[in-house]
Copies of this chain bind each other. A is one copy, B any other.
Amino acid sequence: VTTDRILEGLARREPAALARAISLVENQSDGFEQVLSHAHGLLGRGGTRRVGITGPPGAGKSTLTEALIQRFRAQRLSVGVVAVDPTSPFTGGALLGDRIRMESVSLDPGVFIRSMATRGAQGGLATTTEEIADLLEAFGFERVLVETVGVGQTELDIARTAETTVLVLVPESGDGIQTLKAGIMEIADLYVVNKSDRPGADKFRQEVEVMLGIRRGNAFRHMAPHNPSDGRTGGRADSASRLSDGPPVQPSGRWQPPVLGTVATTGVGVDELTAALDRHYAYLQASGMMAEGRRRRLAARTRAVLERKLRRWLLEGTRVEELLASRLDELADGRRSPYDIAAEILDQVKAGGSATR
């Protein structure tokens, strides 16, 4: 009944229904897959572009996101934002503070901003975030921004559920360039050096370009960048040296991630950023990478959904917990190991035998 009401509300494009749908998905409450399944039928019609924005804390991502929203709104594009802070079990309200500062756009009915509470969320965060982005797209937002704080694997996985991934850095990022290893940098489609009016910004930007193989450098010539395994970004140019203002598509036809400078607080460089987003979108379409990436993400999602269903079935639909409880003494005194017992349970699950209720 609740699910039906949410679906009706979504069809009438009621923001309250969208908020309820998101909560349903976030909490994986009854009917959440039904809502998502319905939303899936409304996706991929080409009216929506998804952009993932990530970077270390303090890089100014929220200010940059706000500037992007304003730019999109000036083009009369509606914008949905999902913001997630995977470190929130510890940092708590830090991101929420940023959200509040976004008030200039959050009162605009053409903008919908949702922060995700991740406390206690164990894994699956990228999947849930992508599902919420699905809801925003199905609702009809023309730009969907996925913002996440941090530069660990989780954060990158989240940002890369979008078609275009933007990595925001600042001149004083981490311990500087030493912490950015070749190859590891090749995780985004666009690099932004924010706060680029600060001392050292030009040098930092040049170092990032050297790292990406855009610019020839001495310091890093022994560090050959690796190609990314999924072919998402273009990898290194065949001729490693080109001007940073040159065309983003290499002679080989691959995308060369540009390194842009912005000052989000004053809006400097934001036009160039939206132009670069447009170029990347055009590249994805022309190269066939858009369709290919979409199929790859859908396959990955189905695997993730399957694993989630399987885990839930294992915990709720089988006798696993009973079996485990009955083996706990043997486990604790070393007669049995977690590996024996897991194998025993798995065999029973496979056989559809006594482990299944």
Contacts and interface: CB of A to CB of B under 8 A. Distances in A.
Interface of A: 33-34, 36-37, 40-44, 86-87, 89-94, 118-123, 150-154, 156-157, 174-175, 178-181, 184, 187, 291, 294-295, 298-299, 301-303, 305-307, 309-311, 313-315, 320, 324-325, 327-328, 331-334, 337-343, 345-346, 349-352, 356
B151 A91 contact: yes
A89 B156 contact: yes
A153 B339 contact: no
B352 A174 contact: no
23 contacts: A36-B338, A37-B339, A40-B337, A40-B338, A43-B334, A86-B152, A87-B152, A89-B152, A90-B156, A90-B179, A90-B184, A91-B179, A92-B179, A94-B174, A121-B153, A150-B152, A152-B152, A298-B338, A299-B324, A299-B328, A306-B346, A309-B346, A313-B346
A251 B349 CA distance: 47
B340 A89 contact: no
A30 to B, nearest CB: 14
A177 to B, nearest CB: 11
Given A44-B334, A303-B315, A351-B352, 10 more contacts: A40-B337, A40-B339, A87-B150, A89-B156, A90-B187, A122-B153, A298-B331, A302-B331, A303-B320, A310-B311
Contacts of A153: 86-87, 89, 118, 120-122
A9 B337 CA distance: 21
Contacts of A337: 36-37, 40-41
A331 B341 CA distance: 37
Contacts of A346: 306, 309-310, 313
Given A153-B121, A328-B295, A334 B41 contact: yes
User: Chain A contact residues: over half helix, strand or loop, or mixed?
Assistant: helix
A346 B308 CA distance: 11
Oligomer: number of copies: 2
A37 to B, nearest CB: 4
A332 B295 contact: yes
A44 B44 CA distance: 55
Nearest to A34: B339
Given A92-B184, A93-B179, A307-B311, A87 B151 contact: yes
Contacts of A325: 299
A223 B274 CA distance: 42
Contacts of A350: 313, 352, 356
Contacts of A309: 342-343, 346
Given A153-B122, A295-B332, A324 B339 contact: no
Contacts of A345: 306
A321 B215 CA distance: 41
Nearest to A318: B350
A332 B10 CA distance: 22
A68 B236 CA distance: 44
Contacts of A302: 324, 327, 331, 338, 341-342
A314 B307 contact: yes
